[in-house]
A and B are shown apart, each in its own frame.
Chain A
Amino acid sequence: MNLWRLSLAYLRHQKLTAALNVFLLALGSAIIVVLLLASTQLKDNLVRDAGGIDLVVGAKGSPLQLILSSIYHIDAPTGNIDLAEARRWSRHRLVDRAIPVALGDSVQGFRIVGTSDDFRALYDAEIANGRSWHAPMEAVLGAQVAAATGLAVGDTFAGVHGFAASGHTHEHSRYRVVGVLAPTRSVIDRLALTDVRSVWAIHGAAGHDAGHETGHGHDHDHDHDHDHDHDHDHDHDHEHEHEHEHEHEHEHEHEEDHADDGHDASHHDATTTADHTLLPSILAPDFPATGRQITALLLISDSPLAGLTLPRLINRVSSLQAAAPVAEITRLLGLIGFGLDTLAAFAGLMIAAAALSVFVALYNALRARRVDLAMMRSLGASRAQLLRHILLEGQMLAIGGVTLGLLIGHLVTEGLGLWLQDAQLFHLTGWAWQPAEWGLLAMAVTVGLLAALLPAIQAYRVDIARTLAGE
């Protein structure tokens, strides 16, 4: 027998009351734990997905929308920008690296991103299987895309227009999977990467050029651009017919390609690797930009000035807008943070209610236990022992409640994480510990102490003779 067992015996004796108090405390602290874990991990995710990108240049519109669409891939793009103008900014002296992004299609709900090979470096995404693309219509899948769609190197798939799971399918030009990325726990896991030229090939008139490039090489681009300009001059009906003819040619070409692959894939790979390979940058000064568009341009700068100077410059001088991911994340978290604060305040209120409930339970129990306490004194207990006995009981309730709350909070967060994984939102895990959780435990000790203090002092003051005789 000791004070621990004694306090525990009293809690067991009042099972329902003790359970209610523990439950109240657990609920309040579990909410705080979930908020804590979710908000810090959300921020970590947002920062990691920003991949060190300092600035995003895109069409005018909401800067938050621009960031959400071209970095986090969770909103519709603001529009397209002319490649020529984008290229002008990519060559600015404050810009160290520029990566184009062309959006528009998806595969089974995962976005297809037309970009350059540099994109992978933003997220340190290694190719786990296969290789990067060497030609338009070749695609490299993020780990989650490969896992969810079941597509592997060598498979082909058709892009779906738009970002919904179903929609108009671009059956006329299928992508071929040439690589699969290793998981990175960032947004790239949920993307299918390809060259910007693939997106051009599928959308609009520029597509014909890209298609031809596969067969003829880059030198002819210029001529085809002229074709493309002509297309625009035609009225709509004509253009449509024109496209139709081209589509037929296109399919033929592709079938031939596939035949080649089927018979001698290794040979094909060998030659392309030897040829070396990566397509020339569309941002290179000698690349014909006329009439071509991309969705956004991701800029990386080593200069601390870039974050201040460039957006002002770009927003004022050009028809484009520049948005800084860090600023937008901060703004977004500020908006979410308001909701989180409200929830946290609610959880705090719950803990306060729980503390009050612990107090009332101990206080009421003490009235019934005065006799027990007096008896303990007459059995040899000192006043200090009784004080400790009651304080201990408060501590047990509080620490028990918060410990249970921590457990529930982590389990719920992990459950949310598993659920969000299916929803393709962000990576959330319950198996992480925030230093602030120590604060929660410290708070438990304080709450237990405060709730038990008055009853404990009453226990300390119990008059043995009067209590035992006063019946």
Chain B
Amino acid sequence: MLCIRDLEHCYTDVPVVRLQRLDVAAGEQLAILGPSGSGKSTLLHLLAGVLTPTRGDIRVCDQSLAAMRESARDRFRGRHIGLVYQSLHLIAALSVADNLALARYLAGLTPDAARIDETLERVGLAAFKGSYPAQLSQGQRQRVALARALVNEPRLILADEPTSSLDDANAERVATLLIERARAAGAALVVTTHDHRLADRFERRLVLGEAGVVA
């Protein structure tokens, strides 16, 4: 599902991320750990194809991200990779349901109201589909971001610190949803976190040390 070979990414000649080899199979779940500044977010952006690595190759679903043209990569990411960012980035101008509808539209998928309702139901937000992000609590917003990442049935789900801004109860709930939904969909799940409440639930962990080099 996800294969990384000889990956190196540099900002102004200083390597930030260096990763010899990493494979994540379909349905497998991996937590990337490390202190702030260890390059966790950069690695996630590289995996999403948002950043292009200085060296090395990342293959998702047997397709090389680096080999794609930019617009093809945008479309590929929309279809096959579900992203949950640390600061959510929900579209404030759109309702909860429309945020999900936008994800389907931008990925070039057919609008599917039933699928949106079902996805919101699974994260326990069916009653909030008409609400706007500003009207929701932080925990609810986090679940909207999760639903948006799930609505296109991605093969790979990437989540950047999905629980770090939540209280225990919400962190627990989001972590459970994330793990269960990914498993149910048979998607590979990669999360970056320094939050042990989340990290402890993953069997497979990758720890990034200083300057993103695998310790």
B102 CB contact (under 8 Å) in A371, A376, A465: A376
Q: Determine whether A245 belongs to the interface, using a CB cutoff of 8 Å to chain B.
A: no
Query: Is B136 positioned at the interface, with any CB of A under 8 Å from its CB?
Result: no
For B74, the chain A residues whose CB sits under 8 A away are 377, 380-383
Tell me whether A1 and B111 are in contact (CB under 8 A). Answer: yes
Interface presence of A266 (CB below 8 A): no
Residue-wise, chain B 168-212 has the 8 Å CB interface mask toward A (1 for contact) of 000000000000000000000000000000000000000000000
Contacts A1-B101, A469-B41 hold; do A380 and B89 have CB atoms under 8 A apart? no
Central interface residue in A5, A13, A468, by most chain B CB within 10 Å: A468
Determine how close the nearest CB of chain B comes to the CB of A56; give it in whole angstroms: 66
- Say whether A10 faces chain B, with CB atoms less than 8 Å apart: yes
Flag whether A9 is at the interface (Cβ < 8 A).
Answer: yes
A468 B89 Cβ-Cβ under 8 A: yes
Most chain B beta carbons < 10 A, residue from A375, A377, A469: A375
Please, which residue of chain A has its CB at the minimum distance from the CB of B93? A13
Q: Is the interface of A mostly helix, strand, loop or mixed?
A: helix
Q: Is A233 an interface residue (CB 8 A)?
A: no
Partner of A379, one of B41, B42, B71, B106: B106
CB distance from A388 to the nearest CB of B (A): 12
Q: Are A375 and B71 in touch, CB under 8 angstroms?
A: no
Cβ-defined contact, B94 with A381, below 8 A: no
A256 within 8 A of B: no
Choose among A9, A380, A469 the residue that contacts B75 (Cβ–Cβ < 8 A): A380
- B70 on the interface (CB 8 Å rule)? yes
Is B104 part of the contact surface with A, judged by Cβ < 8 Å?
yes
List the A side residues contacting B42 at CB < 8 Å: 469
Q: How far is the CA of A12 from the CA of B71 in the complex (A)?
A: 29
Known: A381-B78, A469-B45. A1 touches B50 (CB 8 A): no
Asked if A342 is at the interface of the complex by the 8 Å CB criterion, the answer is no
Dominant SS at the B interface? helix
A2 in the interface, Cβ–Cβ < 8 Å? yes
A384 CB within 8 Å of chain B: yes
A464 at the interface (CB under 8 A from B): yes
Q: Measured between C-beta atoms, what is the minimum distance from B165 to chain A in Å?
A: 13
Among residues of A, the one whose C-beta sits closest to the C-beta of B94 is A9
Q: Are A378 and B107 in contact (CB under 8 A)?
A: no
B143: Cβ under 8 A from any A Cβ = no
The CA-CA distance from A193 to B94 in the complex, in Å, is: 69
Q: Are B45 and A465 in contact (CB under 8 A)?
A: yes
| Other-chain contact of A385, B50, B93, B106 (Cβ < 8 Å) | B106
**Which residues on the B side are within 8 Å of A5 (C-beta)?**
98
Residues of A within 8 A of B98 (CB): 1, 5, 9
Chain B contact residues, CB within 8 Å of chain A: 41-42, 45, 48, 50-51, 70-71, 74-75, 77-79, 83, 85, 87, 89, 91-94, 98, 101-108, 111, 148
The 10 closest A-B pairs by CB, nearest first: A380-B78, A13-B93, A1-B101, A375-B89, A1-B105, A380-B107, A380-B106, A381-B106, A382-B71, A379-B106
A-side interface residues toward B, CB under 8 Å?
A: 1-2, 5-6, 9-10, 12-13, 371-372, 374-385, 464-465, 468-469, 471
25 contacts between A and B (CB under 8 A): A1-B101, A1-B102, A9-B94, A10-B93, A12-B93, A13-B93, A372-B91, A375-B85, A375-B91, A376-B106, A378-B48, A378-B50, A378-B77, A378-B83, A379-B83, A380-B74, A380-B75, A380-B103, A381-B74, A383-B70, A383-B74, A465-B51, A468-B45, A468-B50, A471-B87
